[in-house]
Amino acid sequence: MTQTVGVAGIIRARLGECSPAERRVGRVLLAAYPTAGLETVATLAERAKVSAPTVLRFLTRLGFGSYPDFQRALRDELAERETSPLSAYSADEPADGPLARAAAVLPTAVAETLAELPDAELDHAVRLIADQQLRVTAHGGRFSSLLAEYLVLHLMQIRGNSRMLPTGPVQRVDALVDVGRRDLFVLFDFRRYEQPTLELARTVTQQGARIILCTDRWLSPISGLADVVLPSRVDSPSLYDSFVPSLALLEALVAGLIDRLGPAAGQRLAAIEAASQPYL
């Protein structure tokens, strides 16, 4: 399954070119994406505290000829967001073999994921995770929890004070009850987005925590709450969305973190090695 850049991705990419009033429209759209864009022009303008012509100028800047064109694109995205492996399943045998399909799809998906992410967004994520005064907690969904664990295993070695959100109810409450301004959550949420992860994001932001969101190009509803959004493509040679581009993005994040931590990362790695020797 392949895809193109979504409306939310276009908005995020163009915000820096906009006037302050147009940026307010963009932020309102991202904060309540995609429902805010399905309202009338007048309602959207009222929410952003701008005029209706400002809304239309913003959409023109994004490349939409009219408000109905913009809403049509959003509705098309909504249909794509609800795609599941079952709905994508076809009993027809593909013309190409799996290796050929993977070779055609995955390298492009990785390259476009990395090319489409602004350097400033990745730098912001690196700076947050490198802040040793912040405790890092990662959490993912049914499949994306694997990405969360992969990240945490690296963070344990190069910066410490990092953990997965426990799955047990008692342990989870214990982990969340003291969350505050010195907490950073790295959340993974991909289509079809999981309501418990959204509720978690709402809870921890109310307690003062910051959020880095790893998601797909359609953007999880958590994007409106996140300090940093790291979207990845999910193009795949099969009916399942691929996490290969997301994994590549995590590799870039870890590389940037090691660069920023400098000698401290090496010192912790040496300490980890020494502490591990008795158990090898």
CATH number (domain holding residue 162): 3.40.50.10490
Domain stops at, among 81, 107, 128: 81
> What Rg do the C-alpha atoms of the chain give, in angstroms?
20
In angstroms, the CA 146 to CA 205 distance is 23
Q: Are residues 160 and 252 in the same domain?
A: yes
- Strands 135-139 and 183-189, by their bridges, are parallel
Q: Are residues 111 and 37 in the same domain?
A: no
> Are residues 202 and 164 in contact, defined by beta-carbon separation less than 8 angstroms?
no
Q: Are residues 51 and 114 in the same domain?
A: no
pLDDT, average across residues 182-211: 96
pLDDT, average across residues 142-167: 97
Structural domain range at position 20:
7-81
Q: Which residue has the higher pLDDT, 13 or 106?
A: 106
Q: Are residues 58 and 109 in the same domain?
A: no
Supply the pLDDT for residue 20.
86
pTM of structure: 0.76
Supply the pLDDT for residue 278.
80
Give just the sign of the alpha carbon dihedral 68, 48, 50, 215: negative
Phi first, then psi, for residue 55 (nearest 5°) are -60, -45
Asked if pLDDT for residue 118 goes beyond 80, the answer is: yes
| CA 139 to chain CA mean position, Å | 12
Asked if pLDDT for residue 1 goes beyond 50, the answer is: no
As a whole number, the mean pLDDT across the chain is 90
In the chain, how many domains are there?
2
Q: Are residues 165 and 265 in the same domain?
A: yes
Q: What percent of the chain has pLDDT over 70?
A: 92
Asked if pLDDT for residue 5 goes beyond 70, the answer is: no
Supply the pLDDT for residue 88.
52
Q: Are residues 68 and 134 in the same domain?
A: no
Domain stops at, among 81, 116, 137: 81
Domain stops at, among 35, 52, 81: 81
Least confident segment among 29-33, 148-152, 156-160, 255-259? 29-33
pLDDT, average across residues 10-20: 85
**Cα-Cα end-to-end distance for the chain:** 43
Q: Are residues 68 and 161 in the same domain?
A: no
Instruction: Please report which confidence band the pLDDT of residue 224 belongs to, taking 50, 70 and 90 as the band edges.
Output: confident
Q: Is 2 within the bounds of a domain?
A: no
In angstroms, the CA 73 to CA 66 distance is 11
Q: Are residues 239 and 170 in the same domain?
A: yes
Q: Are residues 45 and 135 in the same domain?
A: no
Q: Are residues 219 and 171 in the same domain?
A: yes
pLDDT, average across residues 246-260: 98
Instruction: Please report which confidence band the pLDDT of residue 105 belongs to, taking 50, 70 and 90 as the band edges.
Output: very high
Supply the pLDDT for residue 263.
95
Q: Are residues 36 and 124 in the same domain?
A: no
In angstroms, the CA 191 to CA 82 distance is 7
Asked if pLDDT for residue 2 goes beyond 50, the answer is: no
Strands (E), 67-167: 135-139, 162-164
Q: Are residues 191 and 58 in the same domain?
A: no
pLDDT, average across residues 241-246: 96
